[in-house]
Amino acid sequence: MRHFPIYLDLKGRKVVVSGAGAFALPKLRLLLKTEAVVEVYGADAAPEVKAWAQEGRLRLDERALAAGDAGGAVLLYGANDDEALDRRAAEIGRAAGALVNIVDNLEESEFITPAIVDRDPVTVAIGTEGAAPVLARKIKADVEEMLPPSTGLLARIAETFRAAVTVLPEGRARRNFWSRYFASEGQRALDRGGEAAVRQRLSTMLDEVGASADPKGQVALIGTGPGDPELMTLKARRLLQEADVVLYDTLVTPEILELARREAVMIHVGKKGYGKSVAQDEINRLAIEHARAGAHVARLKGGDPVIFGRLDEEIEALDEAGIEWEVVPGITAASAAAAGIGKSLTRRGRNSSLNILTGHDVDGFAEQDWQKLARPGSAAAIYMGLKASTFIQGRLMMHGADPSTPVTIVENASRDSQKVVSTVLGSLEHALKTGGILGPAVILYGLKPHAALGVLETIAPTGAQVRTGTR
């Protein structure tokens, strides 16, 4: 992020615009929405600018900006559409200590003006660092659609009611009150009876909430999917956005954590998926402690919590502590991996069952029904299988599996860094090494990628093929 978005208080402060022609109009229109004192310099002023000057909305001097004009200005815009004039304006502005923006010239500007959705006092600023103005306009249109024109009015009424709502305890109770108001109650009252009805509704809502009991904490055990935030369920997203405390695993990506409220307490309780558990008791203790204090806890787990997620242990602990909980399923890594290679995990005539295996369990490498797995046509999604790959390969071949059975490894499924290695059982070990697979990865036994996906690299001498990067 090269440009850091902030909101600048312009009340009563001087903003200078060098240039009074048509080129300066868009910026002037924006500035006139603010409470700044706007001073415009430039010969050949556009009729609109002259009219604004006459109405007293800005001060116009119909001559070029000169040294001394920018004294005390906080911002200076160069909008002459003339390189020499703009350069001179920038010098004058900088000498006066103002931040300078040259319209349509990113490199010469110290700040840029974002696209703005104006629902005063609610404003949304959209910036793309100059990279994609068309995208900014599209986002602006989307946001405008999302925020009805009444948004500003509802926010202003809320502001006048803020002091009254302090009778509710700080935190969840107040937040819930305002969420209800902004999500539905406010707009409904406005449609029914205008501003007066909104004020009336706020009063009755406050009475209703005041009469109800203390808030109760709870824990949502949420599957966040394989990493791509778009692969989260709507419910997972909502509960994450509402959470006071977030306990998250290593597999949960930063893009997903971004969705939490800024005030939420974020606690990393990462543990590797195998071997000695890193303080499962500690995770349980944290969830219980926060829920007891009335918090809504989001316990985020990569993929689907019902698959290799140690879900039962956490539920038992919550039951014992008498804490309310719910489970939100997610997209498991095997589904994302199969989607990533364009193949189905089951197929009529090939495999009518799918094995979901772990390479590791509490006792080390996990034993399986190797005989069954070794049969032609069987398919398995192997989780946590990297360390155990030699063991798995050996066991399967010992039980008669064909060394030419296709095996596909999908690392970082659904993420930008997704990597696919396509090989055969006899070369699994070698392919993992040469493919530089570090995990997290799912080994899809019995499946090969869709032909159209195009393989970019072939690992000699085994014929294993690697495809990276693209989804």
Question: Annotated catalytic sites, by residue?
Answer: 249, 271
Q: Which residue is nearest to ligand SAH (CB)?
A: 303
Give the C-alpha distances (Å, rounded to integers) separating 454 from 302, 334, 458.
Answer: 28, 21, 11
445 contributes a contact to ligand SAH by CB under 6 A: no
Could you say which DSSP state residue 309 is in? S
Tokens of 29: 């229109």
Tokens of 61: 């001097």
Nearest to 154 by CA among 110, 203, 202, 215: 202
Q: Which is nearer to ligand SAH, 11 or 276 (CB)?
A: 276
Shortest distance in whole angstroms from residue 337 CB to ligand SAH: 6
State which of positions 334-363 bind ligand SAH (CB under 6 A).
336-337
**393 Cβ neighbours under 8 A, 6+ residues apart:** 425, 426, 428, 429
Among 46, 442, 464, 466, binds ligand SAH (CB under 6 A): 442
Among 401, 441, 447, 459, binds ligand SAH (CB under 6 A): 441
Shortest distance in whole angstroms from residue 371 CB to ligand SAH: 24
217 contributes a contact to ligand SAH by CB under 6 A: no
291: left (phi over 0), alpha (psi -120 to 50) or beta: alpha
CA distance 326 to 376: 40
State which of positions 56-95 bind ligand SAH (CB under 6 A).
none
CA distance 328 to 242: 14
* Cis-peptide into 215, omega within 30 deg: no
State whether residue 168 is helix, strand or coil: coil
Part in contact with ligand SAH (CB under 6 A); list of ranges 18-26, 192-200, 404-412, 447-455: 404-412
State which of positions 219-248 bind ligand SAH (CB under 6 A).
226-227
Give the C-alpha distances (Å, rounded to integers) separating 29 from 61, 98, 123, 309.
Answer: 18, 20, 15, 55
Q: Which is nearer to ligand SAH, 275 or 376 (CB)?
A: 275
Among 317, 413, 424, 466, binds ligand SAH (CB under 6 A): 413
- Counting residues that bind ligand SAH (by CB under 6 A) gives 27
Shortest distance in whole angstroms from residue 465 CB to ligand SAH: 18
CA distance 420 to 33: 53
384 contributes a contact to ligand SAH by CB under 6 A: yes
Q: Which is nearer to ligand SAH, 202 or 384 (CB)?
A: 384
Contact 219, 299 (CB under 8 A): yes
State which of positions 256-315 bind ligand SAH (CB under 6 A).
273, 301-304, 307-309
Q: Which residues bind ligand SAH (CB under 6 A)?
A: 226-227, 251, 273, 301-304, 307-309, 332-333, 336-337, 383-384, 410-415, 439-442
